[in-house]
A and B are shown apart, each in its own frame.
Chain A
Amino acid sequence: MADPNRTVVVTDGSNDASTVSGAATGVQSSPKGEKGAGTDPSKMDQQTLAAVLQFLKNNKLKDAEAALRREAKLPDGNGDSSGSSRVATSGEVSSVLSAYESEGDLARYCEYYNSLSSFIESSLDAHKHELGCLLYPVFIHMYLQLVYNRHEKEAHKFFNRFSVEQEDWHQEDLRTLSTVKTREQMEGNDLMDTFRSSKFVLRMSRDSYQSLRRYLKQNEHRELLSILQDHLFIDVFDGVPRNREQVQATSGAMMGEARRDANKVKVLYGLPKEPDINVPLDDDDEGAEGEDKPKKKKQKKDLLLNKNKKADPNAPPPSRIPLPELKDADKLEKVLSWKEGLKRVPLGRENLPSICFYTLANAYQNVSAVGVSEDSSLLAAGFEDSNVRVWSLSPQRLRTMRNASELDQLDKEADDIVERMMDEKTAADSWLLHGHTGPVYATSFSPDREQLLTSSEDGTVRLWSLHTYSNLVVYKGHNYPVWDVQFSPTGYYFVSGGHDRVARLWGTDQFQPIRMFVGHYSDVTCIQYHPNSNYVATGSSDRTVRLWDVLNGNCVRVMTGHKAAVHTLAWSPDGRYLASAGVDKNVLLWDIAYGRLLAEMKGHTDPIYSLCFSREGSILASGGIDNTVKIWDVQKVFEEIAGSDDLTSLDRASLVEVGSLLLGSFQTKATPVLKLHFSHRNLLLGCGRYQHS
């Protein structure tokens, strides 16, 4: 593949080799799917190795360093320690900082920026919008260069002049940026570090890229060129340039769009075959109803089981992730939920759901989290005064287990042993759980309803027993606030994510996380376990949604398009679609199979904090602090894409044009909607705290 474009930028480019390779990779990941050049990985490894060595050295870990050197077949470090340290520092810090060191005439930055923007303004309409994406990263890096080189006044002027021209959704980051006014402040600013250490990703059609190249050739702005090479990653694709809507749909994330190769891995989003369940199907129930009915029921049940047994080509093999074995109780649970499912009301355009709303009154301390158990029988609310309270939503009141001596006397062979274990005297409508030392930001029930997980500002995740209403385990790992925690649909595993930008996968019986999902540029704000337990979706305040493979911890999907922090996620029951929403008040619907944006649902007037698909996946409910529950017709979208499922159009994010999807909007009096949950029968439950104005 002789690519004439490849070298142009490089030859124009100024100096060092790293920029060459950077620009080269940018062009290389063209649609042919060719991976980076052979030299790149090895060079990267070298750098990483050097960095690790430096780290070991700095921390006086001599043995480890020596061992590493031996293994990597590097010369002994003692001789050229000064040299290697220089390499390492330049690799780590200086490469980033020195990139900002520029001899060029900084005062002319305004001019350069103007020239670039007028070029973009004057270019063909077809290219205009793709090229327009350049402005923001160029602006940021020019400003940072000015600040770094201690041209504070120019920087201030530059910022004031051009910051207003940037798109609305960048203003949040610009505000953060505007606080940075001196070189000293650049150190230790999270956003700064992100900008310095990562490349802003842009996607562009080949035509647009060509026109940019021509422009750069004509005007020899060295500074501009070096910014483009050092800090931008231009992902070129063959095809028609995208229009304004398409560009806007996927822009907005902190570090630009997702690279195309980031979403190439196949995701096994299907649901696995249901395991055979050989539990005697509720003899007592059927016995009571006579002889004729059970047969009919069994047939129905068989139908249901058959349907689930159908092998899904997209399903992961059942042994991909070791899952906890099903206990008898779990099997019984599954059967019961199927039974409930038989009574399900089909929902859709014509049949809107009934909504039962639970209002928390007298909560002087604010309610910061609400969780509902899978079978809708329990509700847990986390408060800002660090309490957690569990309510029963069913007539069954909450009881604790008897004490040990009493338990000892029980007949362990009895059929109703579980029932007997409970102390009827302790029955209460709600239980209060004390333990956290900061606001509780998430609660999640285990599928068997025996445990509850909570996460808090104090940096811990706590596991509570719902038999004794006491704290069982404190998981420490996140040192910063933990924003979300969720049990896997099979139990045992759970994921947590927080301010440290890492999502962690844990097993309930281990103190250490099993997997760490690292990659978000900012806080991990929300987490949803995929229904098949093989993947985890995370939303972040870097305005991206990522999908992680539990098996190997890789990030398999990066989805951009949100214009502000993502605060809630929901999986469709079939596992293929993901809905996300947050502070930008829009609900976005994603197709996980290709990592593309399907639809955008606008209508909320305040941040959205809860999403839920109906049990058969035909409608989506969203709720937020604008005190409304909105119902969306996602079935329409699914039908639309089922009709036009051609792979050619998949690369470009094209929203499915189906008009308004809003089916209904229901306002509460003064209660923000913090949690929505569909019961097995498709009754929508909502919950929030009454806020008298």
Chain B
Amino acid sequence: MSDRVLPDVTAESIKVIAESAGIGQLPDEAAAALAEDATYRLKQITQEAVKFMHHGKRRKLSTADFDNALKLKNVEPLYGFHAEEHIPFRFASGGGRELHFYEEKEVELGDIINAPLPRIPLDVNLKAHWLAIEGVQPSIPENPPPVPKEDQHAADRPPGVTAKPSGKDGTKPAGKPGKAEVKGLPSEVAGVKLKPVLTHELSVEQQLYYREITEACVGSCESRRAEALQSLATDPGLHQMIPRFSTFVCEGVRVNVVQSNLALLIYLMRMVKALMDNTTLHLEKYLHEVIPAVATCILSKQLCQRPDVDNHWALRDFAARLMGNMCRNFSSNINNIQSRMTKTYTKILHDEQSHLATRYGALAGLAEMGHDVVKSLLIPKLKEEGEKVKMLMEGPVHNSVDKTAAEHIRALLLKHCAPVLAKIRPGPDNQEQYKTDFGHLGPLLCAHVVKARQQQQQQQLQATTTTAAAASVVQRPTLQIPQKSDWGRASAVLSAMAAPRTPTPQPTTPSLLTISRPSTPANPPSTPTTPTPGTPNPQTKYIIVSTTKASTSTTLPSTSTISSSGLASSSSSAASTIVKFVSAAQGSASGGSEPRVLAQLPSGQKYVVVSVPSSGQTTTTSQGKTQAVVMVKSEGQGSQGQGSNTGITSAAGTLAQLATSSSQDSTKSSTGLQGGATPKPNS
């Protein structure tokens, strides 16, 4: 008992309180007597408050419980103590005294009166689902996944390491086993432990599901595809079917590369992405099929019938990003995926004879590996690549295919190298210096770096993120987007539940999903504990989070700093479900009016596009072909103008949108975000 701090009010505290109440000299005895009594009363009231917690059927004691307990004891409850934070106390020390205080800011009444009315929160509604049907829990998104991910992993492990049958038995109902049950051989028969054999037969329902999903994924109907991908990305209990899906992808890529069918390749990559997004699946055992397929889509010489018109670059970008995510999620000391892929890429770059498209893929692949890789492998090559680009663009032999390739390579290098350079090179940026260091690309690079620097400086006004640390540990996410693994599911459920009963959405409540931020673990580590002067309202933040697991990955430094300034965007390919989180405790209250929701696709995939004043036109179509950023749009149109294969262009358009909306395009979208964020401190 002595080793823990005794929960007592000390006489010093009483004296401090007395001082603040205007009593200067409180005698020691009086303070001690008061302290003792205060301790007793506090404990008594807390114990009463626990009763209210129990009757409120909660696990957490709330301030309201405490108020009720005070009321019970005929003490006037505390008025106006409603903190938006979980623990609203600030710490200060000085002069040998340590003090925890509650920071109360002066509030300008005018601001409150003139502030626009907060949006009305969504109304309470009731939704029914089947928790169990005759003792068997159906695998629907409303229910937790039948086999927890850890158990999938345990089942994957070789026998003898640790087989935990006991934990499983406890969770399974003892009644009828489900159809998709792990069929264990009678393992105790001879005292020999046999590895349980997984059934390789799918139930009729699963076969139907497989057929429907695969048909929809590669079919021509975009809305059905979106639905299928959504199902792949969110449904729990698909783990029985991953082998089938991974084989499907692998074989599909093999066939379609030969036939140069760009559209199908894109569809297959999107399938891979959806599978990776599914938080209940454990893909590790199937990488041997998936990785070659994805690598093919990055590096293949020819991915489309008309390399001069078709936008196969988007596919390469997208696949490279997938690969980057895979490396981050699955690379280990045993499989060494990251180093093996990096080797593959660099080998191509060293090979002078390699095809330009392949080179582009290799560069994109490296760029997606993270900052360390960019710094050590890409930047030293800038000069060489620059010369190559120059030769192709200005050289004597004019080949439109080569020229577009060169343009793309240049854009790619600028996009990825500039932010890194802005970090590692000390300013000021001198055009000449860049020219000597990086050759042909120098001047352009210089312009980009300057732009990147400006952004960073703006963000550093409010940020305390250590960029050095961010640069040094690129492999690990520097910014943990507040994201527990079940958020994806949570939001999926919420999206299902938040929908009003009637199919037509209410005009007053836009179908934007608003979730008040959970109080405990969700604080991004970079959020400062004490508000810096730059942020007058630290509680109101807009965090755009893609709720998939993949996005816990590396973020660009620029975005990580954005987060602390008020906007966090996760930079990764995961864009299937972007949910806007308003972190203020009043839910959607205060600032919800500022960024406008422009697009929500009715087909299940949700994009919340924040209106970005500076990035020009942001147009949406309800079909899901959101051409979000002008640059991408022009590319898409370029191919559309000449091409006859509209299927390809629409797929490429969607893909481009996926790529851009996940904000890897730091220049465009982060300025956009910045534009949205900067007016805030003024308001």
A, B from the same assembly: yes
- CB-based contact B54/A583 at 8 Å: yes
The residues of B that contact A368 with a CB separation of less than 8 Å are: 55-57
A 493-530 binary contact with B (CB < 8 Å = 1; else 0): 00000010000000000000000000000010100000
Contact A664 B498 (CB under 8 A): no
In the complex, what residues of A have CB within 8 A of residue B498's CB?
361-362
A499 touches B54 (CB 8 A): no
Q: In the complex, what residues of B have CB within 8 A of residue A666's CB?
A: 131-132, 137, 173
- Write out the residue numbers on chain A whose beta carbons fall within 8 Å of the beta carbon of B128: 356-359
Are A362 and B55 in touch, CB under 8 angstroms?
Answer: no
Query: B170-190 CB contact bits vs A (8 Å, 1 = yes)?
Result: 110111100000000000000
Binary CB contact string for chain A from 644 to 671 against chain B (1 if under 8 A, 0 otherwise)? 0000000000000000001111111110
**Bound-state Cα–Cα, A669 to B138, Å:** 13
A436 at the interface (CB under 8 A from B): no
Is there an interface contact between A668 and B55, defined as CB atoms closer than 8 Å?
no
A583 to chain B, nearest CB (A): 6
Contact: B173 with A664, CB < 8 Å? yes
Task: Check if B59 is an interface residue, CB within 8 A of chain A.
Answer: yes
Residues on the A chain within 8 Å of B86, using CB = none
C-alpha gap A672/B58 in the complex (Å): 9
How far is B416's CA from A258's CA once the two chains are assembled, in angstroms?
77
> What is the distance, in angstroms, from A682's C-beta to the closest C-beta of chain B?
11
A483 surroundings in chain B (CB, below 8 A): 55
Query: Which one of A4-12, A173-181, A415-423, A550-558 is at the B interface?
Result: A173-181
- B36 interface neighbour in A182, A362, A667, Cβ under 8 Å: A182
- With A352-B134, A664-B132 known to touch, is A625 a contact of B59 (CB < 8 Å)? yes
Report the minimum CB–CB distance from A547 to chain B (whole Å).
22
Is A122 positioned at the interface, with any CB of B under 8 Å from its CB?
Answer: no
B598 to chain A, nearest CB (A): 23
Closest to A692 in B: B490
Chain B residues contacting A294 (CB-CB under 8 Å) are none
Indicate if the CB atoms of A674 and B57 lie closer than 8 Å: yes
Q: How far is the CB of A178 from chain B (nearest CB, A)?
A: 8
Q: Does B123 contact A (CB under 8 A)?
A: yes
Is A384 an interface residue when CB atoms closer than 8 A count as contact? yes
B47 touches A361 (CB 8 A): no
CA distance A438 to B64 in the complex (A): 10
- A384-B56, A523-B51 known; A389+B124 contact, CB < 8 A: yes
Is A609 positioned at the interface, with any CB of B under 8 Å from its CB?
yes
Q: Smallest Cβ distance from B682 to chain A, in angstroms?
A: 30
A185 part of interface (Cβ distance < 8 Å) = yes
Question: Shortest distance in angstroms between B585's beta carbon and chain A's nearest beta carbon?
Answer: 10
**In the complex, A360 has a CB within 8 A of chain B:** yes
A175 closest partner in B (C-beta): B47
Contact code string B124-155 (vs A, CB < 8 Å = 1, else 0)? 11111111111101000011100000000000
Chain A 355-394, CB-CB to B under 8 Å as 1, else 0, gives 1111111111011100000000001010110000101000
Within 8 A of B (CB), among A146-203: 160, 164, 175-176, 179-182, 185, 189
Contacting residue for A690 out of B132, B170, B486, B493, CB 8 A: B493
Q: Are A665 and B171 in contact (CB under 8 A)?
A: yes
Q: What residue of chain A has the Cβ atom nearest to residue B490's Cβ?
A: A692
Q: Given that A361-B124, A480-B72, A693-B486 are known contacts, is A625 also in contact with B173, CB under 8 Å in the complex?
A: no
Q: Which of B40, B52, B137, B518 is within 8 Å of A692, CB to CB? A: B518
Interface residues of B in 8-40 (CB under 8 A from A): 36, 39-40
B102-141 near A? 1/0 per residue, CB < 8 Å: 0000000000000000000111111111111111010000
Residues on B with beta carbons closer than 8 Å to the beta carbon of A391? 126
Give B202-232 as 1s and 0s: 1 = Cβ < 8 Å from A's Cβ atoms.
Answer: 0000000000000000000000000000000
Q: Is the CB of B497 within 8 A of A359?
A: yes
Report A556-585 CB contacts with B as 1/0, cut-off 8 Å.
Answer: 000000000101000000000000000100
Q: What distance in Å separates the Cβ of A348 from its nearest Cβ neighbour in chain B?
A: 10
Say if the beta carbon of B494 comes within 8 Å of chain A.
yes
Verify if A351 is at the interface (C-beta below 8 Å from B).
Answer: yes
Known: A567-B54, A625-B59. A358 touches B127 (CB 8 A): yes
Task: Tell me the chain A residues, 322-354 only, with Cβ under 8 Å from chain B.
Answer: 350-354
Asked whether any CB of chain B lies closer than 8 Å to the CB of A607, the reply is: yes
Q: Give the residues from 482 to 509 in chain B that come closer than 8 angstroms, CB to CB, to chain A.
A: 484, 486, 489-490, 493-494, 497-498, 501
A631 to B484, CA, bound (A): 30
A684 to B130, CA, bound (A): 10
Q: A270 in the interface, Cβ–Cβ < 8 Å?
A: no
CB atoms of A189 and B129 under 8 A apart: no
Among B124, B144, B175, B501, the residue within 8 A (CB) of A363 is: B124
Interface string of A201-232 (1 = CB under 8 A from B): 00000000000000000000000000000000
Query: What is the CB-to-nearest-CB distance from A607 to chain B, in angstroms, rounded to a whole number?
Result: 7
A481 CB within 8 Å of chain B: yes
**A303 → chain B, closest Cβ, in Å?**
27
Is A693 touching B484 in the complex (CB atoms < 8 A)? yes
Say yes or no: is A441 at the interface (Cβ < 8 Å to chain B): yes
Q: In the complex, what residues of B have CB within 8 A of residue A523's CB? A: 51
Q: For B174, list chain A residues within 8 Å (CB).
A: 662-664
Chain B CB within 8 A of A606 CB: yes
With a cutoff of 8 Å between Cβ atoms, the chain B residues found around residue A356 in the complex are 128-131
* A359-B129 in contact (CB<8A): yes
Residues of the B chain whose Cβ atoms lie less than 8 Å from the Cβ of A662: 174
**Which among B39, B72, B490 is the interface contact of A481 at CB below 8 angstroms?**
B72
Q: Say whether B535 faces chain A, with CB atoms less than 8 Å apart.
A: no
- Assess whether B497 is in contact with A361, with CB atoms less than 8 Å apart: yes
Q: Is A54's beta carbon under 8 Å from chain B?
A: no
> In the docked arrangement, what's the CA distance between A353 and B129, Å?
14
Q: Report B514-564 residues with CB < 8 Å from chain A CB.
A: 515-516, 518
Contacts of B132 in A (CB 8 A): 352-355, 629, 664, 666, 684
Select the residue from A364, A389, A609 with max chain B CB neighbours within 10 A: A364
**For A384, A429, A439, A441, which residue has the most chain B Cβ atoms within 10 angstroms?**
A384
A542 within 8 A of B: no
Cα separation A84 to B57 with both chains bound (whole Å): 50
Whether B51 and A361, one on each chain, are in contact in the complex, defined by CB atoms closer than 8 angstroms, is no
Whether A668 lies near B144 (C-beta < 8 A) is: yes
Residue of A at shortest CB range from B516? A364
B670 to chain A, nearest CB (A): 29
Q: Which of B44, B130, B176, B515 has the most CB of A within 10 A?
A: B44
Across the interface, name the chain B residue whose C-beta is closest to A352: B135
- Least CB separation from B68: chain A residue: A457
Whether B44 pairs with A360 at a CB distance below 8 angstroms is no
Check if A362 sits within 8 Å of B57, measured CB to CB.
no
The residue of chain A having its C-beta at the shortest distance from the C-beta of B125 within the complex is: A361
Residues in B whose Cβ lies below 8 Å from that of A176: 44, 47
| Chain A to chain B contacts (Cβ below 8 Å), 20 pairs | A179-B43, A189-B44, A352-B176, A354-B132, A354-B135, A359-B127, A360-B125, A361-B497, A364-B587, A381-B124, A429-B501, A481-B52, A481-B68, A499-B72, A625-B58, A663-B174, A664-B173, A666-B131, A667-B144, A670-B486
Apart from the given pairs A366-B56, A674-B57, 13 other A-B contacts in the complex at a CB distance below 8 Å: A175-B47, A185-B40, A356-B129, A358-B127, A361-B127, A363-B124, A384-B56, A565-B54, A665-B170, A668-B143, A669-B142, A686-B131, A692-B490
Closest 3 CB pairs of A and B: A352-B135, A664-B173, A361-B497
Interface, chain A (partner B; CB < 8 A) = 160, 164, 175-176, 179-182, 185, 189, 350-364, 366-368, 379, 381, 383-384, 389, 391, 429-430, 438-439, 441, 457, 480-481, 483, 499, 523, 525, 541, 565, 567, 583, 606-607, 609, 625, 629, 631, 662-670, 672, 674, 684, 686, 690, 692-693
